[in-house]
C-alpha cells in the first residue's frame, strides 16, 4: 500500500477562539481526509495546528519542518507580521529544498505579512507596507465598502458566494472531469499575488475579476519544481490570494465566523451547492500536484 500524502495545515497565529484558528478549516481538513487513491486507500493524512512557541520564540514544528515526515505544508498566514521567525523560515526553506511542497495563502492589506520573510514563494505575495504590487496603478483600494481595510483588497464578492475564475494558463491544478474549474469561493477583500522577479519557474494559473472595478487580479501563482543555486531540487509551490478560499465560513456560512467580520454574507453556495464541487476538486488537485502525483 502506498503511503498517504502527509499534509501539515498550519496557521501563523496562536489559537484564539474568536479568530481564524485551524479549527475553522475543518471542512477542508475533512475533505482532504476523505480523498481516496485508485486502490481505495486514503490519499492524504492531515495534521492541523496553530502556531506555538518554544523558549526561543520559534514554532517547534515549522522551525524543524525539514526533519519531519510531512510531504506538504499548507500555510495559512493570518498574522500582522509576527507569524514566522527567522528560524521558522529557515526550517520551511530547508523543507522545500528537500522536495516538500508548499501552499501559502494570506488575505487583504498586511494580513499574513510574515510571508515576506519567507522568500521564494513568500515573494509572490504583495502587501500594503511591504513588497507592494510592482504596478503603482494597483496600489489603490479596490473594495471601497469596508473602509477600514486598504489595498490590496480585491472585491470578488460576498463571503458565502462564489466567483467566476479564468484559467490564465492550461494547468493541471485547474482540471476537473470534463473540463476546467470555473468557480472559487468569493471574498470582499482578497490579497494580491504575482510572479516575483527572477522566478522563471513561477506563473499565474488563475485570475478573478473585481466586482467593483471589473479589474482582473491574480488568484493563484504556481511554482514548478526546479533546482536552486545550490543544486537542491525545490518542491512545488502555490501562492494563493486569500485563505478565504478554504475556510469553513466561505464554504458554508452556517459554520460561523469571528465576531470582527463586518460584511453581510451571501447565499450563492446555499442556492447552488453544486458550485462547491469546483473548490473541492481544486483542493484535491493541489494535494496531488504539490506531492508530484
Q: Where are the domains of the chain?
A: 5-290
Categorize the per-residue pLDDT at 168 as very low, low, confident or very high, splitting at 50, 70 and 90: confident
The span from the CA of 293 to the CA of 288, in Å, is: 5
What integer pLDDT is reported at residue 281 of this predicted model? 98
Average pLDDT over residues 136-153: 96
Cis peptide before 152 (omega within 30 of 0): yes
The span from the CA of 240 to the CA of 218, in Å, is: 9
Average pLDDT over residues 253-280: 97
- Decide which of 3.30.1370, 3.40.50, 3.30.720, 3.30.300 is the CATH code for 5-290: 3.40.50
For the chain, what's the residue count?
293
Residue 211 has pLDDT above 90, yes or no: yes
| 3-state SS string for 55-92 | CCCCCCCHHHHHHCCCCEEEEECCCCCCCCCHHHHHHH
What integer pLDDT is reported at residue 267 of this predicted model? 97
Comparing C-alpha atoms, which of 126, 289, 164, 127 is closest to residue 222?
Answer: 289
Average pLDDT over residues 233-255: 98
Classify the phi-psi angles of 223: left when phi > 0, otherwise alpha if psi is within -120 to 50, otherwise beta.
beta
What integer pLDDT is reported at residue 170 of this predicted model? 82
Average pLDDT over residues 180-191: 97
| C-beta separation of 104 from 238 below 8 A | yes
Average pLDDT over residues 164-178: 91
Mean pLDDT of the chain: 96
Q: How far is CA 79 from the centre of its chain?
A: 14
Categorize the per-residue pLDDT at 2 as very low, low, confident or very high, splitting at 50, 70 and 90: confident
Q: How far is CA 146 from the centre of its chain?
A: 22
Is the Cα dihedral 12, 29, 44, 182 positive or negative?
Answer: negative
Amino acid at each position: 500500500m502506498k503511503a498517504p500524502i502527509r499534509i501539515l495545515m498550519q496557521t501563523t497565529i496562536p489559537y484564539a477562539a474568536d479568530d481564524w484558528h485551524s479549527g475553522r478549516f475543518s471542512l477542508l481538513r475533512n475533505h482532504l481526509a476523505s480523498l481516496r487513491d485508485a486502490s481505495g486507500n486514503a490519499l492524504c493524512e492531515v495534521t492541523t495546528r496553530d502556531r506555538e512557541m518554544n523558549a526561543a520564540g520559534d514554532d517547534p514544528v515549522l522551525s524543524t519542518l525539514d526533519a519531519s515526515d510531512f510531504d506538504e505544508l499548507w500555510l495559512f498566514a493570518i498574522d500582522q507580521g509576527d507569524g514566522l521567525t527567522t528560524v521558522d523560515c529557515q526550517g520551511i526553506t530547508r523543507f522545500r529544498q528537500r522536495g516538500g511542497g508548499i501552499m501559502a495563502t494570506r488575505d487583504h492589506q498586511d494580513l499574513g505579512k510574515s510571508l515576506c520573510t519567507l522568500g521564494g514563494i513568500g515573494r509572490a505575495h504583495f502587501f500594503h507596507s511591504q513588497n507592494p504590487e510592482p504596478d503603482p496603478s494597483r496600489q489603490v483600494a479596490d473594495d471601497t465598502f469596508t473602509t477600514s481595510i486598504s489595498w490590496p483588497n480585491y472585491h470578488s464578492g460576498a463571503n458565502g458566494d462564489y466567483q467566476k475564475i479564468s484559467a490564465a494558463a492550461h494547468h493541471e491544478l485547474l482540471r476537473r472531469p470534463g473540463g476546467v474549474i470555473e468557480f472559487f469561493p468569493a471574498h470582499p477583500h482578497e490579497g494580491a499575488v504575482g510572479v516575483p522577479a527572477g522566478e522563471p519557474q513561477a506563473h499565474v494559473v488563475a485570475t478573478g475579476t473585481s466586482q467593483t472595478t471589473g479589474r482582473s487580479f491574480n488568484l493563484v501563482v504556481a511554482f514548478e519544481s526546479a533546482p536552486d543555486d545550490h543544486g537542491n531540487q525545490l518542491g512545488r509551490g502555490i501562492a494563493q490570494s486569500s485563505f478565504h478560499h478554504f475556510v469553513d465560513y466561505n464554504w458554508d456560512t452556517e459554520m460561523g465566523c469571528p465576531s470582527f467580520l463586518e460584511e453581510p454574507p451571501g447565499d450563492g453556495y446555499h442556492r447552488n451547492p453544486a458550485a462547491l464541487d469546483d473548490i473541492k476538486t481544486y483542493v484535491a488537485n493541489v494535494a496531488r500536484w504539490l506531492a508530484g502525483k
